[in-house]
Amino acid sequence: MIKFRKTRPKTPNSAAGKIGITLFGLFFMGIGILFVGLIISQTITNVKTRTWGKTPCTITASTVKTVSDGYSFGFEYTYKVNGKLYHCRQFQSGNDSIVKDDISKADAMAKKYFKGSRTFCYVNPDNPNEAILKHGSLLIGLVVLFPMIFVIIGGGIVYGTWFSSDKKPKTYSLSEKASKKNFGKKFQTGFFLIFFFAGLGVGYFFIFPAIMKSLNSDNWIKTPCIVQSSRVQTHDGSDSTTYSVDIVYEYSFEGQTFRSGKYKFIGGSSSGYQGKAAIVRQYPAGKSAVCYINPDNPSDAVLKRELGAEAFLALIPILFMLVGLAGAIHSMRDRQKTRSFTNLAGKTIDSIADIHRQSGKTVLKPKTSTAGKVIGSIAVSIFWNGIVSVFVYQAFQSWQAGHPDYFLTVFIIPFVLIGLIMIGSIFYFSLAAFNPRPAITLLKDTIRLGDSVPMHWTTDGDVYKIRNFKLSLIGEETATYRRGTKTHTDRNTFYEKVLLNSHNPESMRRGEAFAYIPAESMHSFKSDNNSIVWKITMHCDVPRWPDSKDDFEITVHPMLIEDF
């Protein structure tokens, strides 16, 4: 049975280096574990409250107060257990009062739970003093996917520091190696699925509903309103302060009076006080304005229906979903290939050779297709520029309001330049897609060390556009290792042979050659940290136009036992 030596990535040899990296990894992991614990604890509590008894209660107090970061709805209710009267202020587990960012949401709570109204509460059978009016959502458990990313990254750093050190290399059989690689692909698939569900959760709960509302708001009723108050809300964070627009306006609909504080469909807070202050100054208290009312829910109103640049926020969760889905599919496909390889790995070289006795043709495909290059450059450009555009919009707003944010403007300049280069790459690969495309065929389906492989090519398109056509056989070794917390990959070309280097259009259009694989070199091989790759490279030099460059990987097998 074939055996391979597993090369482990290098890690710091000094104890101080390992301890430093370990502390860095533990910091990441600790943050994730802290939030994972809080989320799991809250989820367990929400599950337990669903076993509490349903009991009639009466609302004895109901108030809405203005606070720095929104509007607080406070209340009190009474209920009886075994003939004894109890008082409680808890709405959900751990919440005595509810803070809403929009006055209409607080008003809706006050209308639902007004003083003197009767409803039901849920009482803890083990402690009648504890009760709630509403069960907490179990969907909060999905939020655990976010801190899990920190746990995985931190744990990976710690594991790689202490368990991937320069120990004596172990020997693995092909089947063992494939089995370990299959486990790694499972882990990789799970990691990408976390990205997918994280993007889905953010989009579903925070962004997509607002965008759908904006798209469906054409039938919302245009109604006059009066501004009651306007201010810039301040939201104090652990390391920064963010701001949001809060404009309270009153309007009437079908004989009823409502209040709302929604300026746009997509709310939230961000840095940049001056931009928000400029908006607030446009709506002083007492000003007459126009709002748009949802006919299906009159308490739902907005001052500005247009999304504007906020629509680009949808790109963030969408791209997380696309990256996660694409990565998971790619990992599952590789896993399927590894399974096939595992089934084959237990066979001896003689039995493997029997499978490939018959010769045939192999049509080579480029490592990355022309369409793949274009689509890939578009996806990367959208991802990068979608995120950068959020900060560009904030900077633009600050300049438009007459209070430019110089620091933000200077900070984003290099990121904008990189985004422009990415946009340029889309045009580059799109133009290159119109170049003549060669098709390469190997007249042998199983290639081994020491073989001289016949091949031929044909080129579709106007070959007279090409100034020079070059085909080369290349053997390349890659080694991946870690320096500190960063992973590096070194590439070394150990064999290179030019098969064709021609200016003749006819030889570009059609031709034949032999690709000799040196017997003393190494066969194709891939592991977690090292690989041997054989490929045929094609380079078409096109004057005043993007060149065409493609790599066609080929698999080179070991020599048969009878060849020795």
Asked if residues 279 and 263 have their Cβ atoms less than 8 Å apart, the reply is: yes
Q: How far is CA 78 from CA 99, 126, 326, 382, in A?
A: 22, 18, 54, 55
Q: For 316-330, write each residue's pLDDT tens digit.
A: 777 777 777 877 777
Residue 437 contacts residue 365 (beta carbons within 8 Å) = no
Q: What integer pLDDT is reported at residue 345 of this predicted model?
A: 41
| pLDDT score for 227 | 95
Residue 547 pLDDT: 85
Check the CA dihedral 304-307-308-313 and report its sign: positive
CA distances from 17 to 27, 31, 164 (A): 16, 22, 14
Q: What is the DSSP letter of 555?
A: -
Domain spans, the chain:
53-123, 170-218+315-341, 221-304, 347-563
State mean pLDDT over 177-196. 64
pTM beyond 0.95: no
Higher pLDDT, 304 or 484: 304
CA distance 101 to 67: 10
Higher pLDDT, 342 or 43: 43
Q: What is the Cα–Cα distance from 548 to 543, expressed in whole angstroms? A: 11
Q: What is the residue-averaged pLDDT of the chain?
A: 79
Class of domain 347-563: mainly beta
The model's pLDDT over 79-129, given as tens digits with 9 standing for 90+, comes to: 999 999 999 988 887 666 677 777 888 888 888 899 999 999 999 999 999
Q: Are 240 and 340 in contact (CB under 8 A)?
A: no
Element (H, E) at 375: helix 370-400
Q: Which residues pair with 496 in a beta bridge?
A: 474
Q: Which two tokens stand for residue 180?
A: 């370990």
What CA–CA distance (Å, rounded) separates 476 from 526? Answer: 12
d(CA 531, CA 543) in angstroms, rounded, equals 35
Q: 364 with 296: CB under 8 angstroms?
A: no
Instruction: Quote the longest CA-to-CA distance of the chain.
Output: 102
Residues with Cβ < 8 Å from 159, sequence gap 6 or more? none
**pLDDT at residue 280, as a whole number:** 93
Measured between alpha carbons, how far is residue 404 from residues 234, 273, 419 in Å? 20, 11, 22
Mean pLDDT on 220-227: 95
Is 50 exceeded by the pLDDT of residue 351? no
400-458 pLDDT, tens digit each: 666 677 777 887 888 889 888 988 888 888 888 788 888 888 888 788 898 888 888 88
8-state DSSP, 270: B
